[in-house]
Structure 1
Amino acid sequence: MKALVLAGGSGTRLRPITHTSAKQLVPVANKPVLFYGLEAIAETGIREIGLVVGDTQAEIEAAVGDGSAFGLQATYLRQEAPLGLAHAVLIARDYLGDDDFVMYLGDNFIVGGISDLVERFAASRPAAQIMLTEVGDPRQFGVVELDADGRVIGLEEKPAQPKSDLALVGVYLFSPAIHAAVAELKPSWRGELEITDAIQWLIEAGLRVDSSVVSGYWKDTGNVTDMLEVNRLVLESLEARVSGHVDEASELIGRVVVEPGAVVERSRLVGPVIIGPGARIVDSYVGPFTSIGAGCTVSGSEIEYSIVLPRASLEGVRRIEASLIGHDVEVTPAPNTPRAHRLVLGDHSKVQISS
């Protein structure tokens, strides 16, 4: 079995971060979200992976290399434009050959891995096996309809009138039968070759499509809110560790990780928090669910429930919350400007003004 990992796409919902960075490399607890997926694939025993890449190929390739750091053998497959998940399967046809494969969306995050899913597929070998989860607004996802016995009977991509609240999770398992389905597809109203249409083709051809509902945690990390939530979840599993320098005037509370080369001086850190290698935290407060990247500086500032990417600096900022701060960003206070109140008051007025 092989793996097909989708690591292209423009990441429009994470702009402006993704104007200069691949969305799959935005870090969760100071590790790119893509790496969690690669580790999950390696845990299944799969060794050969094809990475479908686009305009950010150079950045993805620099981060993943030949895959050996993950126990994998990586091959890069260029997708010139993001024309749909089924299009990714189409361009990977020669690489995949006649092997079964797992298709994994590189910006998805699944707690608990996919080993059980892969074992179940290998034991029963349906034409396709999909993962589902209940969502609040199915119109944003590929939606699956089940019959009374729980069999998959229909799929639709981002429907205006969803027939269920079960959405496709970004992990799919396919036999080579999917290639015949993909070859028959026409672009959807979105101009893409939809994987939902390909799976529907399998169903209509009388082939078996199995499904299971995700029991663990799943998130598509395509927007800032979900990135922060996944960061929170991963930080919850931290074990406290101090490998850098923390002076006696600082206070560390709860699960706090201070990586090698990091310095904490006269500061208060309330976990779960991770401070990356070479970062400096001085005269500051870092609150729960915050990841500070490598080489960052936080001085005279307060930050909580946020992700700060490498080499960013926060100096003299009173309070930052629920934020995603990019590489090499500088955050400083705005200059003080004179303030005045212009009043027209009637007789016997009483006015309270905050100074």
Structure 2
Amino acid sequence: MKALVLAGGSGTRLRPITHTSAKQLVPVANKPVLFYGLESIAAAGIREIGIVVGDTHAEIEAAVGDGAAFGLEVTYLRQAAPLGLAHAVLIARDYLGDDDFVMYLGDNFIVGGINAIVSSFGRERPDAQIMLTRVGDPRQFGVAELDADGRVTGLEEKPAQPKSDLALVGVYLFTPAIHEAVAELKPSWRGELEITDAIQWLIDEGRRVESTAITGYWKDTGNVADMLEVNRLVLESLEPRLLGTAEGSELIGRVVVEEGAVVEGSRVVGPAIIGPGARVRDSYVGPFTSIGADCVIEHSEIEYSIVLPRASIEGVGRIESSLIGHDVEVTPAPTTPRAHRLVLGDHSKVQISS
């Protein structure tokens, strides 16, 4: 079995971060989301993996390399434009050959891994196997309809009037039969080749499509709120570790201070992680916060946030529920005249207390 990991796409819901960074490399607990998926694939015993990349290919390739660090053999497959999940299968046809494969969306996060479903698929070998979970607003997802016996009878991508609350999780398992289905597809109303339409073709042709209800935690980390929630979840499992230095400071609970990091005159309440080379001085770092490598936090308070490498936050009050990008500088505004001074990229969202 091979794996096909989708790491293209523009990540519009994470702008402005994704104007300059691949959404799959935004970190959770100081590790890119994509890496958790690669580790799950390797843990399931899969070694050959094709990664579909787009405009951010250089960044993805630099981060993952040849895959050896994960115990994988990586082949990169260029997708000229994000034209749908089924389009990714189409361009990977030669790479996949006649092998079964698992398709994994690189910005999805699944607790518990995929070992069980990969083993089940290997034993039973349906033409397709999908993972489902109940969601509050199924209009944002691919939606499955099941009959009274739990068999998949229909699929629809982002329906205006969903027929169930069962959303497709971003992991799919296929035999080579999926290539027949993909070859028959026409673009949807979104202008994309939909994987839901391909699976529906299999159903209509009498092929065997199975579903599994996910028992662990799943998130599509496509927006800031979901990124922060996944970061919270991962930090919950931290084991405290002090590899850097903490002078005149309180480290309370599950706190990780990485090598080369310095915490001075500060209070850090876990779960929280301070990345390598970071400096926290005369500050408060609250629960569910990830401070990236070489960041500077001085005379400030921050909680329930993700701070990417080399950012600096100096002399500001309290920051909460924030995602702060690479090399960002956050400083106090002049006290007079009282005004907000902003330099914002396209598609930014700002909340200001007047």
TM-score (norm 2): 0.95
Shift of 1:71: 0.1
CA distance in 2, matches of 1:48, 1:122: 16
Give the ranges of 4+ consecutive aligned residues of structure 1 lying more than 6 Å apart after TM superposition: none
Secondary structure of residue in 2 paired with 1:185: coil
1:337 shift after superposition? 1.2
- How far apart are the structure 2 equivalents of 1:280 and 1:314? 10
Aligned twin of 2:273 = 274
Partner of 2:327: 328
Instruction: Specify the SS of the correspondent of 1:59.
Output: helix
Task: String of CA shifts for 1:21-46, please: whole Å, max 9, x gaps.
Answer: 00000000000000000000000110
Q: Secondary structure at the match of 1:103?
A: strand
Q: Find the counterpart in structure 2 of residue 14 from structure 1.
A: 14
Secondary structure in 2 matching 1:231: helix
Output aligned runs, 1:3-42, within 5 Å.
3-42=3-42
Matching of residue 265 in structure 1 with residue 264 in structure 2: yes
Q: How far apart, in 2, do the equivalents of 1:175 and 1:335 lie?
A: 62
1:351 alignment counterpart: none
SS at match of 1:86: helix
CA distance in 1, matches of 2:337, 2:4: 59
Per-residue deviation, residues 268-308 of structure 1 (Å, max 9, x unmatched): 00000000000000000000000000000000000000000
The CA distance in 2 between the partners of 1:59 and 1:257, in whole Å, is 27
Aligned to 1:291: 290
Deviation of the 1:8 alpha carbon: 0.2
Partner of 2:184: 184
Give the partner amino acid of 1:49.
I
Question: Quick one: distance in 2 between partners of 1:318 and 1:240?
Answer: 27
Cα distance in structure 2, aligned partners of 1:236 and 1:283? 25
Q: 2:170 is paired with a residue of what secondary structure?
A: strand
Tell me if 1:313 matches 2:299.
Answer: no
Distance in 2, Cα, partners of 1:104 & 1:37:
7
Residue aligning to 1:126: 126
Determine the C-alpha separation between the residues in 2 that align with 1:198 and 1:171: 15
Taking the aligned partners of 1:77 and 1:202, their CA distance within structure 2 comes to 25
* Residues 155-185 of structure 1, C-alpha deviations (whole Å, 9 max, x = no match): 0000000000000000000000000000000
Q: Which amino acid aligns with 1:219?
A: K
1: CA distance between counterparts of 2:112 and 2:216? 6
What residue ranges of structure 2 are gaps of 5+ in the alignment?
339-354
Counterpart of 1:228 in 2: which secondary structure? helix
Give SS of 1:310's match.
coil
Which residue in 1 is equivalent to 2:50?
A: 50
What is the aligned partner in structure 1 of residue 347 from structure 2?
none
Larger Rg: 1
* Number of residue-to-residue matches in the alignment: 338
What residue is the counterpart of 1:150 in the other structure? 150
CA RMSD of aligned residues (A): 0.5
* Structure 2 CA distance for aligned equivalents of residues 59 and 74 of structure 1: 15
Q: Deviations over 1:215-262 (max 9, x none)?
A: 000000000000000000000000000000101x21010000000000
Identical aligned residues as a percent = 84
The corresponding residue for 1:300 is 299
Using the alignment, how far apart are the partners of 2:278 and 2:236 within structure 1?
Answer: 21
Deviation at residue 144 of structure 1 after TM alignment: 0.1
SS state at 1:90 partner: helix
Question: Which letter maps to 2:235?
Answer: L
**Paired residue secondary structure (2:61):** helix
In structure 2, relative to structure 1, the CA distance for the partners of 1:266 and 1:201 (3 Å cut) is: same
For 2:89, give the aligned amino acid.
Answer: V
Structure 1 length-normalised TM: 0.95
| Secondary structure, aligned partner of 2:297 | strand
User: What is the rounded CA distance, in whole Å, between the counterparts of 2:57 and 2:320 in structure 1?
Assistant: 32
Give the 3-state SS of the residue equivalent to 1:260 in structure 2.
Answer: coil
Shift of 1:338: 4.6
Amino acid at match of 1:81: A
Is 1:195 aligned to residue 195 of structure 2? yes
Q: How far apart in 1 are the matches of 2:208 and 2:240?
A: 47
Equivalent residue letter for 1:258: V
Between the aligned partners of 1:337 and 1:233, the Cα distance in structure 2 is 41
